Each structure stands twice: as structure tokens, then as C-alpha cells.
Amino acid sequence: MILTIDIGDEEFDSIVDSSGEFQPIIFLNFASDIKGLYEFELANTVINIFDFEDQLQMQGFFSKEDSLFVFGKLKVQIDGVKGANLKWSKDKSLKKESEKYYNWPYTINKDDRVCYCGGYLSFLTDYYATLMIVTGSKYKIKLTFDLKESIPFNSMDNNSLQQAKLKQFQYKNENFQGKLFDNDFFKEYFLTGRKAIKDE
């Protein structure tokens, strides 16, 4: 079952926790302009569902716990984005010289909000990224995930913590070159052009 939570204008990092006990993974979109609607994905993330019980019950989901651990992909949609700052460094390193940055320009106005999250980059799994997204005062955030890829979670219960750790998504970027960089494959299916000459 696919669940959607509209968290409205709640503070993002009070609802979605990508820190703590787990190895969160972040799948980013690197568009040149992210103004308006920006989408990305997180895995190995805890969601505080206490304030959204009614929304979830209307979708047929009931839980005794106030949180869910989403070990699958959690799709995040933020509407009303003005820009963002991204920082990444190797293994959450505290060394300033190891930090790299990417910025989407914005101008701060009174009542603007910041949505904060982080995780290991999906394409550079040794690097931890922190993303700070700036929105206008009128913004909306929607979370979508597959219930099969989540479990009820209680951070104060050791058994719940162990269950979540066992379910944690172990993502590895295998650094595989891909078919189109394989010269023999390319010649067989494309010869020297850009149009495929046969089915795979």
C-alpha cells in the first residue's frame, strides 16, 4: 500500500529524521534551477506520524507507535522552494578542508523557512550530504512511501531499534560502467550511430 502524508507547513526536520542510529541515503536531483517544486528521495529514515494519524487512518493505516522507520525510498516533494545550499564531505568528516558545496541562489525574506535533511549520497556512498532548502512562507511538503518498506518504530525500545537496524537498506553503488560505455555492446546494438539496430 502506498501512503501519502501531507505535512503542510510543519518543520521538515521535526517530522523526518535522517540522523540518529541509521545510515540514511539521499537521492538528489541536480537541476540547474529548483525553484517551485523540488523532489528527492530518502532511505533509512524515521518519520514522526503522531500529528498525521487522521490522514493515515483515512488511507487505512493504523499504528500504535508514533513513528515509522522507512527503510525503502521515501519520496519528498517540497512546493514553494526558493533555492538551497548543499554541503558534502567524506563520512561526516568534521574537517573543513574536506567539505564541498553546491548552491542554488535565493534571497531570504521575512517568514521564509528552511527544510533541513541529510544522508549519504546515492552515487558517492562514502560522502555524507547536508541539504538546506529555503522555501517561502507559503509552502507545502508531501511524503510518499510504500508501507511494505516501513515498520512501526519506537526509539525508546531496544527491540524496536534492533528490528529497524535489521531492516536497514544496504545501498551500494557498484561503480559499474553501464552498457553504453561497453564498446562491444555499443557496436552490437548501435554500430557507429545513435539509433538501435536490434532488440536486446
pLDDT at residue 11, rounded to an integer: 84
The answer, yes or no, to whether residue 93 has pLDDT greater than 70, is no
**How do the domains of the chain map onto residue ranges?**
2-190
Mean pLDDT (whole number) for 96-115: 91
Residue 67 DSSP SS3: strand
Distance in angstroms (rounded) separating the CA atoms of residues 192 and 200: 17
Residue partners of 49: CB distance under 8 A and separation at least 6: 5, 56, 63, 65, 66, 67, 68
- 74 pLDDT band, cuts 50/70/90, is very high
The answer, yes or no, to whether residue 79 has pLDDT greater than 70, is yes
**pTM tops 0.75:** yes
Residue 163 DSSP SS3: helix
The secondary element (H helix, E strand) that includes residue 13 is: helix 12-15
Distance in angstroms (rounded) separating the CA atoms of residues 200 and 181: 16
- 95 pLDDT band, cuts 50/70/90, is low
pLDDT in tens, 1-36: 999 999 987 888 889 987 667 889 999 999 999 999
pLDDT at residue 92, rounded to an integer: 62
Least confident window among 49-63, 125-139, 147-161, 170-184:
170-184
pLDDT at residue 8, rounded to an integer: 83
Distance in angstroms (rounded) separating the CA atoms of residues 5 and 73: 14
pLDDT-above-90 percentage for the chain? 69
- 194 pLDDT band, cuts 50/70/90, is confident
Residue 152's nearest CA partner among 51, 69, 29, 50 is 69
Contact (CB, 8 A) for 146 and 1: yes
* All cell numbers assigned to 45: 529514515
Partners of 128 in the beta sheet? Answer: 89, 120
pLDDT at residue 59, rounded to an integer: 95
Distance in angstroms (rounded) separating the CA atoms of residues 120 and 23: 7
